[in-house]
Amino acid sequence: MKTETPKAQLKRQFRELFRCMDFVADNYLRDKDLPDKTVERFAEVYQQLGTAWQFLGLQCKHWDGYRKAREGKMACRICGKIKGTDEHWLLLPSKGRKRIGRRATPTSKEVSPTEKQALVVADTIQFHGATVEVKVANAYKKAWPGGKGGDMTIADDRIIKLREGQVECWLDTHLVHVRWKPKPRGKREPNYGAFPWELSKAKLRNFPIILEYDTKDRFTGLTILRPASPERTGRARPRGKKAP
């Protein structure tokens, strides 16, 4: 027996669904002689079918492209979704690799007047007990704390925060910051940083690390200064050659 491809299966399901919607509309919603109660009932049925349409549409990859729809909009030839409208739900496979979104980076060199306007992505996922936060923003103006003395400019950045149990890992353009038992904002004690000076100077250049501790000299985490990527500085060393 020939197995149906996901696309063929979805197309068939859509055909069946649209046939049901047309049936309800033609027989119960357009006929003015029916009692109000009946029309109301079938309007509800039509709504439910609309919900099914929305969720079925999440499987559609719009394989066959778009056709012209009303008001100059483009609609998918299979699911009828209007190009460019927001999806409110995501559909993920229960097995295999899950993918949500694409790697986002700042989109502009301009400084936005507000943080909201500068935001490219701000999203969070709880994944099997680990929490991942992604925040990407263009540069924006922000008032100095205290409300006096004009604005400061917050640089554009891509910030990833991973929280697993008692460890929080923060990654941005310049830093990898690992925190041990992080306290919630507002409850944080002052943190101090120091380089591991005990290492010889020759070795130290290989350890771009700041060790952190609290007021009682307890270890609270470490910061690893990310080395600049060779593309950015143009100072890549040939392979196999050691630094002078």
Contact set with Zn ion (CB under 5 A): 60, 62, 76, 78-79, 81
CB nearer to Zn ion: give 76 or 134. 76
Which residue's Cβ has the minimum distance to Zn ion? 76
Coil, helix or strand for 25?
helix
- CA-based nearest residue to 162, from 175, 144, 148, 178: 178
CB nearer to Zn ion: give 4 or 31. 4
* CA 29 – CA 82 distance, rounded (Å): 24
The nearest distance, CB 117 to Zn ion, in angstroms, is 31
The nearest distance, CB 62 to Zn ion, in angstroms, is 4
CB nearer to Zn ion: give 66 or 213. 66
Q: Give CA angle at 92 (161, 98), nearest 5°.
A: 50
The nearest distance, CB 17 to Zn ion, in angstroms, is 13
Task: Quickly list DSSP for 78-139.
Answer: TT-PBTTPPPS-----SSS----S-------SSPBSSHHHHEEEEEEEEETTEEEEEEEE--
The nearest distance, CB 144 to Zn ion, in angstroms, is 49
CB nearer to Zn ion: give 63 or 195. 63
Coil, helix or strand for 161?
strand
